[in-house]
């Protein structure tokens, strides 16, 4: 039973991380209909920024609380800046181009960013500093649920609540929803669509950075390639939940996380990634619109 609960929590933890990344995919897709291939790389850059800042601060002897806060803020700020800049460089000039063009541009951006980090930093796995200490009150159940898992779950929950608030009640959130429903109409009622798209990229990238920070301190090491797999898996989660739908992305991520966790726990860990991809192919065969997505017919 302990093993089951352990797998359950590890699945939920994975799922939360996927959710943080998947939200970026789903929000961008909802607004400009583009699979932002470089999103996984944003997450990787978030993790790298956090790693660099945290290591520098710990070398200069800052207290742990300061390190966590500054590294977290730096990761979010830089990732969001990258997200904003990438949109301006690689997607904005192609907004009215054929569908394939921005997608290829996104793939190019993803390859570029991976190799940029590889060349500017290193190709080795780097040990990520321990940012989350073992809480004393978690002692009795520490063999089942680690402190890091708890922090990840709580952080994700808080972030989701804040995001829901932003999207439901703030002006920019309303503008986002309007733009995703009908871009031309949104322009007509005076919404600055470019600003909305930029905001979407900034928010999505910030979420990915939080995900990057959390997963890196959970796993304890990073390298330039982590964004690729995480990106595809988060995309799988977004499709599973119905791409374009925000609750769908969270639901899909949790399902994917649990599936992976139980499959590796009870079946085999060699094929961990195969499960995710097979799940993706299966969903697309049987329910292409996802669990919470709306099926759309293409109109002339």
Partner 1 sequence: MGIVKELKKGALISLWFVFLTFPVMVIKVDPIARTVVWRWENALYMAVGTFVVYYIAQFFLKKKENQKEASEEKGLNHSIIHKILQNPLQRNIFVGVLAVAAVLFPQVLSAYQTNVMTTALMYVVLGLGLNIVVGLAGLLDLGFVAFYAVGAYTYALLNHHFGLGFFTVLPIGGLMAATFGILLGFPVLRLRGDYLAIVTLGFGEIIRLVLENWGEFSQGPSGISDISRPGFFGVDFDLQSSIIYTYYLMIILVIVTIFVVNRLQDSRLGRAWIALREDEVACQAMGIDKRKTKLVAFSLGAFWAGIMGVMFAAKTTFVNPASFTFLESAIILSIVVLGGMGSIVGVVLGALILILMPEYLRALSQYRMLAFGAILVCMMIFRPQGLISNIRRTYTFKKKTTNSLSK
| Chain contacts with partner 1 (rule: CB under 8 A) | 34-35, 45, 48-49, 51-53, 55-56, 59, 74, 78, 81-82, 85, 89-90, 93-94, 97-105, 107-121, 126-127, 129, 228, 232, 235-236, 239, 270-271, 273-274, 276-278, 280-281, 284-285, 288, 298-300
Burial class (CB in 10 A: 0-12, 13-18, 19+), 127: exposed
Q: Nearer to partner 1 by C-beta: 9 or 48? A: 48
CB of 172 to partner 1, least distance (A): 22
Task: Name the region of 132 (left: φ>0; alpha: ψ -120 to 50; beta: rest).
Answer: beta
How many Å apart are CA 249 and CA 256, to the nearest integer? 10
Minimum CB distance to partner 1 smaller for 28 or for 144: 28
CB nearer to partner 1: pick between 108 and 133: 108
128 Cβ contact partners less than 8 Å away, ≥ 6 residues apart:
47, 50, 51, 54, 216, 217, 219, 220, 221, 222
CB of 285 to partner 1, least distance (A): 4
Q: CB nearer to partner 1: give 1 or 295.
A: 295
In the complex, the smallest distance separating the C-beta of residue 158 from partner 1, rounded to whole angstroms, is 25
Assigned token pair, 285: 């065969």
Using the minimum distance from each CB to partner 1, give the nearer residue, 189 or 285.
285
Exposure on the CB side of residue 31, measured as CA atoms within 13 A: 32
Query: Smallest gap, in angstroms, from Cβ of residue 296 to partner 1?
Result: 9
In whole angstroms, the minimum distance from the beta carbon of 126 to partner 1 comes to 6
The SS3 assignment for 126 reads strand
- Please report the DSSP string for 207-239 in residue order: HHHHHHHHHHHHH-EE-TTHHHHHHHHHHHHHH
CB-based contact 190:178 (threshold 8 Å): no
Indicate the residue among 170 and 268 with the shorter CB distance to partner 1. 268
Q: In the complex with partner 1, which residue's Cβ is closer, 64 or 167?
A: 64
Calpha distance 78→84 (Å, rounded): 10
CA–CA distance, 38 with 54 (Å, rounded to integer)? 24
State the minimum distance, in angstroms, from the CB of residue 120 to partner 1.
5
Instruction: Find the shortest distance in angstroms from Cβ 233 to partner 1.
Output: 10
């Amino acid at each position: 039973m302990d093993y089951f609960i352990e797998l359950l929590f590890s699945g939920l933890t994975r799922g939360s991380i996927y959710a943080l990344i998947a939200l970026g995919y789903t929000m961008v897709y909802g607004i400009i209909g583009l699979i932002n291939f470089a999103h996984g790389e944003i997450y990787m850059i978030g993790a790298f920024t956090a790693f660099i800042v945290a290591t520098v601060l710990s070398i200069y002897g800052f207290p742990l609380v300061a390190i966590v806060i500054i590294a977290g803020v730096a990761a979010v700020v830089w990732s969001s800046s990258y997200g904003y800049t990438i949109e301006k460089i690689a997607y904005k000039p192609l907004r009215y181009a054929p569908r394939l063009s921005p997608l290829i541009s996104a793939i190019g951006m993803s390859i570029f960013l991976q190799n940029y980090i590889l060349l500017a930093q290193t190709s080795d796995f780097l040990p990520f500093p321990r940012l989350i200490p073992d809480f004393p009150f978690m002692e009795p159940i520490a063999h089942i649920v680690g402190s890091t898992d708890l922090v990840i779950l709580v952080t994700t929950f808080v972030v989701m609540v804040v995001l829901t608030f932003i999207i439901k009640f703030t002006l920019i959130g309303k503008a986002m929803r309007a733009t995703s429903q009908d871009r031309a109409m949104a322009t007509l009622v005076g919404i600055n669509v470019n600003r909305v798209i930029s905001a979407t990229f900034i928010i999505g990238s910030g979420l990915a950075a939080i995900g990057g920070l959390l997963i890196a301190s959970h796993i304890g090491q990073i390298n330039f390639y982590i964004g690729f797999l995480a990106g595809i898996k988060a995309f799988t989660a977004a499709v599973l939940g119905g791409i374009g739908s925000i609750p769908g992305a969270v639901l899909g991520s949790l399902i994917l996380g649990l599936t992976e966790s139980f499959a590796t726990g009870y079946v085999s860990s060699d094929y961990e990634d195969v499960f995710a991809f097979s799940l993706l192919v299966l969903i697309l065969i049987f329910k292409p619109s996802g669990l919470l997505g709306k099926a759309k017919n293409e109109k002339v």
